[in-house]
Amino acid sequence: MAMSMQARILAAIRKIPRGKVATYGGVARGAGYPGAARQVVGVLRRSFGLPWHRVLGAGGQIKLRGDSAVEQRLRLESEGVSFRGRRVDMKRHEFRFALSKPVRKRRSMKART
Protein backbone atom coordinates (compact mmCIF):
# COMPACT_ATOMS: atom_id res chain seq x y z
CA MET A 1 0.00 0.00 0.00
CA ALA A 2 1.34 3.41 -0.93
CA MET A 3 0.91 5.40 2.24
CA SER A 4 1.18 9.14 1.84
CA MET A 5 4.08 10.90 3.43
CA GLN A 6 1.68 12.48 5.90
CA ALA A 7 0.24 9.09 6.84
CA ARG A 8 3.70 7.70 7.54
CA ILE A 9 4.67 10.71 9.59
CA LEU A 10 1.43 10.52 11.56
CA ALA A 11 2.06 6.85 12.26
CA ALA A 12 5.58 7.55 13.42
CA ILE A 13 4.47 10.27 15.81
CA ARG A 14 1.81 8.03 17.29
CA LYS A 15 4.43 5.40 18.07
CA ILE A 16 6.22 7.60 20.57
CA PRO A 17 5.20 6.19 23.96
CA ARG A 18 4.49 8.11 27.14
CA GLY A 19 7.65 9.24 28.87
CA LYS A 20 9.58 9.15 25.59
CA VAL A 21 10.31 11.85 23.02
CA ALA A 22 11.68 12.18 19.50
CA THR A 23 13.12 14.99 17.40
CA TYR A 24 11.53 16.36 14.22
CA GLY A 25 14.39 14.89 12.26
CA GLY A 26 14.09 11.61 14.14
CA VAL A 27 10.40 11.32 13.34
CA ALA A 28 11.15 12.06 9.69
CA ARG A 29 13.78 9.32 9.57
CA GLY A 30 11.52 6.94 11.46
CA ALA A 31 8.82 7.59 8.88
CA GLY A 32 11.25 6.84 6.07
CA TYR A 33 11.96 10.40 4.98
CA PRO A 34 15.38 11.44 6.25
CA GLY A 35 15.82 15.19 5.97
CA ALA A 36 12.10 15.93 6.01
CA ALA A 37 11.97 17.46 9.47
CA ARG A 38 9.99 20.40 8.13
CA GLN A 39 7.27 18.11 6.86
CA VAL A 40 6.94 16.78 10.40
CA VAL A 41 6.31 20.31 11.54
CA GLY A 42 3.60 20.68 8.95
CA VAL A 43 1.84 17.52 10.06
CA LEU A 44 2.00 18.55 13.70
CA ARG A 45 0.52 21.92 12.85
CA ARG A 46 -2.33 20.60 10.72
CA SER A 47 -3.35 17.60 12.80
CA PHE A 48 -5.10 17.05 16.13
CA GLY A 49 -5.12 14.30 18.71
CA LEU A 50 -1.41 13.67 18.43
CA PRO A 51 1.16 13.39 21.21
CA TRP A 52 2.63 16.61 19.81
CA HIS A 53 4.42 17.47 23.02
CA ARG A 54 6.70 14.46 22.54
CA VAL A 55 8.31 15.96 19.43
CA LEU A 56 11.27 18.25 19.98
CA GLY A 57 14.01 20.02 18.10
CA ALA A 58 17.53 18.59 17.78
CA GLY A 59 19.22 18.06 21.11
CA GLY A 60 15.92 17.92 22.96
CA GLN A 61 15.12 21.60 22.54
CA ILE A 62 11.53 22.82 22.75
CA LYS A 63 11.01 24.85 19.60
CA LEU A 64 7.64 26.31 20.42
CA ARG A 65 7.31 29.82 21.78
CA GLY A 66 5.36 31.44 24.54
CA ASP A 67 2.58 29.61 26.34
CA SER A 68 2.80 26.64 24.01
CA ALA A 69 6.38 26.05 25.08
CA VAL A 70 5.37 26.12 28.72
CA GLU A 71 2.52 23.72 28.11
CA GLN A 72 4.79 21.33 26.25
CA ARG A 73 7.26 21.27 29.09
CA LEU A 74 4.56 20.72 31.69
CA ARG A 75 3.03 17.90 29.69
CA LEU A 76 6.39 16.21 29.33
CA GLU A 77 7.26 16.59 32.98
CA SER A 78 3.88 15.14 33.92
CA GLU A 79 4.87 12.06 31.93
CA GLY A 80 8.09 11.76 33.86
CA VAL A 81 10.37 13.27 31.24
CA SER A 82 13.35 14.99 32.86
CA PHE A 83 15.11 18.10 31.66
CA ARG A 84 18.71 19.24 31.82
CA GLY A 85 18.36 22.99 31.69
CA ARG A 86 16.16 23.82 28.70
CA ARG A 87 16.74 20.50 27.00
CA VAL A 88 15.13 17.15 27.57
CA ASP A 89 17.56 14.51 28.76
CA MET A 90 17.62 12.72 25.40
CA LYS A 91 20.18 10.26 26.63
CA ARG A 92 17.42 8.84 28.76
CA HIS A 93 14.17 9.68 26.96
CA GLU A 94 14.77 9.63 23.24
CA PHE A 95 12.57 7.08 21.49
CA ARG A 96 14.35 4.97 18.86
CA PHE A 97 12.25 4.17 15.82
CA ALA A 98 12.69 0.81 14.17
CA LEU A 99 15.11 1.10 11.27
CA SER A 100 13.21 1.57 8.02
CA LYS A 101 14.46 1.99 4.49
CA PRO A 102 13.97 5.50 3.14
CA VAL A 103 10.89 5.92 0.96
CA ARG A 104 12.19 6.95 -2.42
CA LYS A 105 10.00 9.07 -4.60
CA ARG A 106 9.13 7.07 -7.71
CA ARG A 107 10.52 8.62 -10.86
CA SER A 108 8.28 8.55 -13.93
CA MET A 109 8.36 5.39 -16.04
CA LYS A 110 9.69 7.30 -19.02
CA ALA A 111 12.48 9.12 -17.20
CA ARG A 112 13.67 5.93 -15.47
CA THR A 113 17.50 5.85 -15.20
Partner DNA sequence: CATCTGACACTAT
Partner DNA sequence: TATAGTGCCAGAT
By CB under 7 A, is residue 49 in contact with DNA? no
What's the chain look like in SS3? CCCCHHHHHHHHHHHCCCCCEEEHHHHHHHHCCCCCHHHHHHHHHHCCCCCHHHEEEHHHECCCCCHHHHHHHHHHHHCCCCEECCEECHHHHECCCCCCCCCCCCCCCCCCC
Stretch that binds DNA, among 35-43, 75-83, 93-101 (CB under 7 A): 35-43
Q: Please say which residue, 47 or 80, places its beta carbon nearer to DNA.
A: 47
| Binder among 10, 23, 30, 90 for DNA (CB under 7 A) | 23
Stretch that binds DNA, among 53-61, 73-81, 93-101 (CB under 7 A): 53-61
Stretch that binds DNA, among 36-44, 75-83, 90-98 (CB under 7 A): 36-44
Where does this chain bind DNA (CB under 7 A)? 5-6, 23-26, 33, 35-42, 44-45, 52-53, 55, 57-58, 61, 63-64, 68, 85-86, 105
